[in-house]
Amino acid sequence: MEAAPSQEHGRQHDRRQAGWRPLHDQVLDVSDDDDYNLALDQAGEALSCAGRVVVLSGAGISAESGVPTFREAQTGLWARFSPADLASPEAFAKDPERIWAWYHWRRTLIARGGPNAGHHALAQLAEIKSLQTITQNVDGLHQAAGSRRVAELHGNIWRERCSECDHARLVPMAEAQGDAPVRCRDCGAMMRPAIVWFGEMLPQTALVAADAALAEADCVIVVGTSNQVYPAAALVDTAVAGATPVIEINPQETPVSQHVDHRLAASASRALPDLVARLS
């Protein structure tokens, strides 16, 4: 879900039982450019050998587009609201105007920032390799950069669905204005953002696509996620516990950093273009 760490769906793993491989032999301090370039060479080699690549992305890849994470988004005007006040079916039923105003505000930020060099590098990678992106992000920036195969675990802020009937629609990013609630053209009920809120299930299709892609992957890139929000983090646990090479891109250490095959301690907008450049 977009909103908070989840213990639902029985997908969470106990890391102590997840079959960790031992720490890779050479731990590189990527704080200096020589080390970064060496890590990049090794990661680039692993990626070069791969036919099918899976990307698991989180909020960090959009940070340089100026898109705040869910928690950061509760700043300024919105600071007095808790996540449950802004991202639950109950909150929507109680005050749809407030919820829509918040989502319209977030849409404006996303449209203003647009995709960054990290999103564009992945779209470029998709032209070279068979690429499946699995994202926790709801901002649609992978698709805006040109990525086509994107499984969205937490929904999409640009998609609206009727709270009563089956009607749904995708709002073009260029139309990111207005803050009034929208009514369904078919039944007149309130439309809502097609985002996974507190207490809601993740879309089964995205989970199935993620499992299938990971089972077939030759290389996995984990970028911009803290690997702490389940069930999405369980996909990373699965990748790290398997034999497929895993590349992590994140300036900060995460619970899996010590267990991945290649770690690029840099921003997504630096490391992803650098990595893709190693292929051409």
154 is catalytic: yes
Residues 238-267 that bind ligand APR (CB under 6 A): 249-252, 254, 267
Identify which range of 60-68, 157-165, 166-174, 204-212 contacts ligand APR by CB under 6 A: 60-68
Euclidean distance between CA atoms 122 and 276, whole angstroms: 8
Given 154, 167, 259, 262, the catalytic residue: 154
Euclidean distance between CA atoms 183 and 180, whole angstroms: 10
The helix/strand/coil state of 17 is: helix
Q: How many CB atoms lie within 10 A of CB 141?
A: 26
Using an 8 Å Cβ cutoff, are 218 and 51 in contact? Answer: yes
Which of 74, 88, 133, 136 is in the footprint of ligand APR by CB under 6 A?
A: 136
Euclidean distance between CA atoms 19 and 205, whole angstroms: 27
Interface with ligand APR includes 74 (CB under 6 A)? no
Amino acid at 273: P
Using an 8 Å Cβ cutoff, are 141 and 114 in contact? Answer: yes
Which of 59, 141, 171, 190 is in the footprint of ligand APR by CB under 6 A?
A: 59
Which of 225, 245, 275, 276 is in the footprint of ligand APR by CB under 6 A?
A: 225
Site track for ligand APR across 140-169, x = CB under 6 A: --------------x---------------
Residue 269 Cα distances to 185, 241, 265, angstroms:
40, 27, 12
- Show binding-site residues for NAD(+): 136-139, 224-226, 250-252, 268
Chain residues binding ligand APR by CB under 6 A are 2, 58-61, 63-64, 69-70, 136, 154, 223-226, 228-229, 249-252, 254, 267-268
